[in-house]
Structure 1
């Protein structure tokens, strides 16, 4: 048995037929005829792949048809994550290659494919504030949202809703800084504010998730990711709650009565 055969995920991914079989059986048993009809492979290739997968304990023949074993289901889940990650990167590889995903908690970095279909909002040489305006317009259009803001933009401060269901996390530098015009307390009488030094910006509402990662060269990004997918909104909600749980109430009178 080769090294790849001893590693079931790698073994499955080194053959398009094995990979397609595992994905076809993900969650639903199928008969041999159903598999032959659904896969773009020869009959002999399908039979050979089924035999090899059965030998390695990843699939089993049951009364209702071929089914994944418990281990096979784990392999199918891993294969699905690989494909979803490839799709995420392929949609805008320039963005992912130039931005630092390492600042995200590991669990949420692994779940980045949950962002689904997304749009990258970019500043332009002829319009450096384009990205900021586009993000601010989305924030301004919702009644309430949750925001993590490690850097200050006046447009974001003006757009941030003042609502009992809105929450804002700012960095300690912004909270305790000397500039009274930044994040004026009078703007948010109902919004709850906490302090945490997050290395990324995040916005979550019932309509969207907005994520800004720093660039790989350490510069603050001139590109922001926006997704309106339900999975992306759940991803963003979970990440915000993690930041919120670790954040602390501010001591500055700028934010408290």
Structure 2
């Protein structure tokens, strides 16, 4: 799929080398994917000088990846193809460089391939490692965002009393709540919180789906402007480390995973 990126350029190197060897060239191409920009805008957005960026622009122009129209620079048709192919690699690399210990210790084998390929969308996330005194407490960032959200979307394969208490409270305040639960979690809620469960599951603003089998994540929460993800480590243990983000890409990744699981449920029926 990426074979054409290894063909030669006017420099005698592969396109992938030309694009990836320089951080300035990578940043410039990512910036230009959103449309033409003049030199002043490029310098401000990328925090570079004319001396620093003009040689990179020339190299990309000489290899037909960037074209100049009047005083603006933009990706050529070929440049657009290159960026679309290689952008996921840029994003994934940056994600791994930001939180290497977390990602190299996670078991991502349970994720559908299409979501593995989009892991770079989680690049702006932060890792939360709870201390021993708050190991079982939900992150304060999650609580704060749930209190001001109008819609909450959640996937969970483990039971936590917090979810019962606060999700019922949110639903009573007319917040839209969408949940995918494993059958074990569902039965635990019904058994331990029978009255609350009856009210919650019967509300018009709640949608509950029972997932047979193993879910692809330990838990995932999307609230307004907030995303949380929990994965098993490579030993198959839930160590309570969580990934949180406020980026639109991460939130979209979470909503898409929820929709994927819903479609999977429909196909199993």
Bin the TM-score by the shorter chain. 0.7 to 0.9
Contact kept, 8 Å, 1:212 with 1:221, in 2: the verdict is: no
Q: Distance in 1 between matches of 2:177 and 2:146?
A: 12
Q: Distance in 2 between matches of 1:147 and 1:178?
A: 15
Change (3 A) 1:22 1:206: closer
Mean CA deviation greater in 238-247 or 172-181: 172-181
1:236 aligns to what? Answer: 254
Of structures 1 and 2, the larger Rg is shown by: 1
**Per-residue deviation at 1:145?**
1.4
Q: Among 159, 166, 175, which residue is 2:177 paired with?
A: 166
Question: Could you give the per-residue CA deviations for residues 168-209 of structure 1, whole angstroms, max 9, x where no partner exists?
Answer: 111133345798227763251212211223121111122311
**Per-residue deviation at 1:25?**
4.3
**Per-residue deviation at 1:216?**
1.3
Ranges in structure 2 where 5+ consecutive residues have no aligned partner: none
Question: 2:131 aligned with 1:113, yes or no?
Answer: no
Q: Secondary structure at the match of 1:113?
A: helix
Q: Secondary structure at the match of 1:84?
A: helix
Query: 5 Å matches for 1:36-185?
Result: 46=54, 53-54=60-61, 56-78=63-85, 80-115=87-122, 117-130=124-137, 132=138, 134=140, 137-138=143-144, 141=147, 142=149, 144-161=151-168, 162=171, 165-175=176-186, 180-181=191-192, 185=197
Mean CA deviation greater in 59-68 or 148-157: 59-68
Change (3 A) 1:63 1:127: closer
**Per-residue deviation at 1:160?**
2.0
Q: Among 225, 229, 247, which residue is 1:211 paired with?
A: 229
**Per-residue deviation at 1:23?**
4.5
1:254 aligns to what? Answer: none
Contact kept, 8 Å, 2:127 with 2:242, in 1: the verdict is: yes
1:255 aligns to what? Answer: none
Contact kept, 8 Å, 2:159 with 2:188, in 1: the verdict is: no
Q: TM-score, normalised by structure 1?
A: 0.73
**Per-residue deviation at 1:242?**
1.7
Q: Among 199, 210, 220, which residue is 2:216 paired with?
A: 199
Mean CA deviation greater in 195-204 or 9-18: 9-18
Q: Among 28, 36, 57, which residue is 1:28 paired with?
A: 36
Ranges in structure 1 where 5+ consecutive residues have no aligned partner: 252-257
Change (3 A) 1:115 1:133: closer
Q: Distance in 2 between matches of 1:139 and 1:63?
A: 46
**Per-residue deviation at 1:85?**
2.9
Contact kept, 8 Å, 1:17 with 1:41, in 2: the verdict is: no
Q: TM-score, normalised by structure 2?
A: 0.70
Give the number of equivalent residue pairs.
Answer: 244
